[in-house]
Amino acid sequence: MTQVTQTPQIAILGAGLIGVGWAALFVHHGADVRVWDPKPEALKEVEARMRAPLAQLEEASPRTATRGTLTLCSDLSDALSEADLIQENAPENIPLKHALYSLVEPLMMDSAVLASSTSALTWSDLSPGLKDPSKLITAHPFNPPHLVPLVEIFGTDLARLGRAEAIYRAAERVPVRLMKDATGHIANRLASALWREAVHMVQAGIADVEAIDAALVNGPGLRWSVLGAHMAYHLGGGEGGMAGYLAHLGPSQERRWASLGNPTLSEEVQTELVAGVEREAAGRSIAELEAVRDKALISALRARKEAPHV
């Protein structure tokens, strides 16, 4: 495992929600961070918008060393010239990202990693934007990026992947490497598969939106916060583990798969989804719900430090 020995130099490209989350995370963990955005007015607000995530980070994982530095750069070359990791958070638009990469590539160090936070696009979509595609990796954080540890990684240059992962680990992230480029990486494919069945149950009248969310949060969601899905079946197999589970219950799992639904987002189901989350929100605004979520995430992260997950 590559170790980070010097203070890492990080460039954050794009000062939206995700970019600001990354900036706060790296500053909290002692890195020297330079933020660039094509709109100078966006830069002016960065420090103010980092205050809340920095306070949350301090609660989730109190600093043992001093904070890193923050530099706001209106000039792209200032942000890139010494950066070890360049975290790109531009809008999800292939031509726009390609155009940005054509500016970035000549300015970055040979050893640097250009990491795209892209959620919807893939490495194969983005790498044609560079002369040397091996400089690019995808490094997808899970929202909110300063609190949820996962970073999903794909790239082709093993040494560069190793250097990037070491930087993410030093910021208490958990980098997880894909073996093959895939739309939705890993986590959003899992989330999408789960939500398909959740929407199917609403459509089929099996349970309402708020019952499904309550079942998830108090059942499998809670368990998946400490135990992976494969590992859960390993433990579900008793003494025989996964092999025992597959021998005894594999066929019934295949039958269950066949019985899962394939819903469409019809107008009727959309109306019910909107009404359901409104009942669940019980008058709380998006900002209020996010505040509850973040407080609960911080508490869960602290709990993990006391008792590590499987």
How large is the angle between the packed helices 187-203 and 209-218, nearest 10 degrees?
A: 140
Residue 157 CA from chain centroid, whole number: 21
Shortest reach from residue 107's CB to a copy of itself, in Å: 32
Strands 70-73 and 136-141, by their bridges, are unpaired
- Judged by CB under 8 A, the chain residues 103 through 122 that form the site for a copy of itself are 120
Q: Are the C-beta atoms of 48 and 15 separated by less than 8 Å?
A: no
Q: What are the helix (H) ranges across 29-75?
A: 40-44, 46-60
Contact flag: residue 67 with a copy of itself (CB under 8 A): no
Whole-number Cα distances in Å, 91 to 146, 149, 151, 224, 262: 19, 22, 18, 31, 30
Shortest reach from residue 69's CB to a copy of itself, in Å: 28
If residue 84 lies in a helix (H) or strand (E), which one and from where to where? none
Tell me the window of 32-40, 47-55, 123-131, 221-229 that interacts with a copy of itself (CB under 8 A).
Answer: 221-229
Shortest reach from residue 127's CB to a copy of itself, in Å: 17
- Judged by CB under 8 A, the chain residues 20 through 39 that form the site for a copy of itself are none
Tell me the window of 61-69, 82-90, 162-170, 188-196 that interacts with a copy of itself (CB under 8 A).
Answer: 188-196
- Judged by CB under 8 A, the chain residues 134 through 163 that form the site for a copy of itself are 142-143, 148-150, 152
Radius of gyration of the chain (CA): 21
Judged by CB, which is closer to a copy of itself: 9, or 138? 138
Contact flag: residue 69 with a copy of itself (CB under 8 A): no
Q: How many CB atoms within 10 Å of residue 185?
A: 25
Structure-derived torsion over alpha carbons of residues 113, 186, 54, 290, reported in degrees to the nearest 10:
150
Q: Are the C-beta atoms of 19 and 13 separated by less than 8 Å?
A: yes
Contact flag: residue 226 with a copy of itself (CB under 8 A): yes
Contact flag: residue 302 with a copy of itself (CB under 8 A): yes
Q: Figure out which of the listed residues 184, 203, 248, 283 binds a copy of itself, where binding follows CB under 8 A.
A: 184
Q: 144 preceded by cis ω (within 30°)? A: yes
- Judged by CB under 8 A, the chain residues 228 through 267 that form the site for a copy of itself are 228-236, 238-239, 241-243, 246, 250, 252-254, 256-257, 259-260, 262, 264-265
Q: Figure out which of the listed residues 7, 111, 206, 268 binds a copy of itself, where binding follows CB under 8 A.
A: 206
